[in-house]
Amino acid sequence: MPDFNPDDYKQYDEYIVTEIEEGFRHVQLNNPKSLNAFKESTWRQYHDILVKLDADPETNVILISSTSKRAFSSGLDLKDAIKTMASAGNVDDKERYKSLHKHIVDFQYCIGTPARINTPTIVLMNGINLGLALDIAAACSIRVATQDAKFSIREIKIGIPADIGSLQRLPAVVNNKSLLYQYALTGGNFGPEDAVKLGFVSAVLPDLESGLAYCTELGEDISGNQTWAIKGTKASIQHILDGGSVEQGLTNIAHYNATNIDGKFINAIRGVFKL
């Protein structure tokens, strides 16, 4: 397998993709002028990058963050979204439904990529995190925030229920359902301490630099483990988060471990314990 080459990702002009260490990849949202607002091209690139990284058998963990100190993401690019809706506005109801439904389903699929891939993801949220930013984070494995982070499930303020994944994934992720209802129904802002109370994030760091240092150490710790064990662990937890049964999860992991535990692995364990 050839070494990771960041030039393979230069076509994705709204992102910077690098390698922190072997097996540990970093995807940075890089449109600071818009505070990383997502156009259609942005979310399609997001999907393509993550799928490409996941397809590399050397990828153990992916960190997702922002190059901007002001925001992880301000959410949906409303000008781009209005163009999409306007293009569906001059057709009959059946065609409008068909067009908008396909657009929403494609959008959901791309933003939900971290939940489907085999590689665990860490997302670092700093500054502004509106609407779509929470859809993105809800699909990731580990969520970390900075002290200046401000969150909002904002879609209800523009007159629609959030439709790209936060309302479907957060109930399984957070531990305070009443508080989730409150934020989702009001569209109100909440900070990092409230995000911890909600169970949305696992750590809060003082600023973007210290957040990156923390996530780097965390990612390196994860990446130091066996690749197949990392991906099997991610798949097992994701199965339950996605509504799978304990019984099916046990069946899945029994098959997975029996397939991957080979003579080389057993001999290595015997060596560790001097058996």
* Residue 1 pLDDT greater than 60, yes or no: no
> pLDDT tens digits, residue range 221-241?
999 999 999 999 999 999 999
pLDDT of the residue at 263? 67
pLDDT of the residue at 270? 67
Name residue 208's amino acid: L
Distance of alpha carbon 54 from alpha carbon 61, whole angstroms: 9
Distance of alpha carbon 31 from alpha carbon 76, whole angstroms: 13
pLDDT of the residue at 274? 62
Question: Cβ neighbours of residue 228 under 8 Å, at least 6 residues apart?
Answer: 260
Angle at 171 between CA 167 and CA 175, to 5 degrees: 140
Distance of alpha carbon 166 from alpha carbon 130, whole angstroms: 11
| CATH of the domain spanning 6-223 | 3.90.226.10
> pLDDT tens digits, residue range 81-98?
888 777 766 788 899 999
- If pLDDT is split at 50, 70 and 90, which confidence band does 121 have? very high
What does the domain layout of the chain look like in residue ranges? 6-223, 227-272
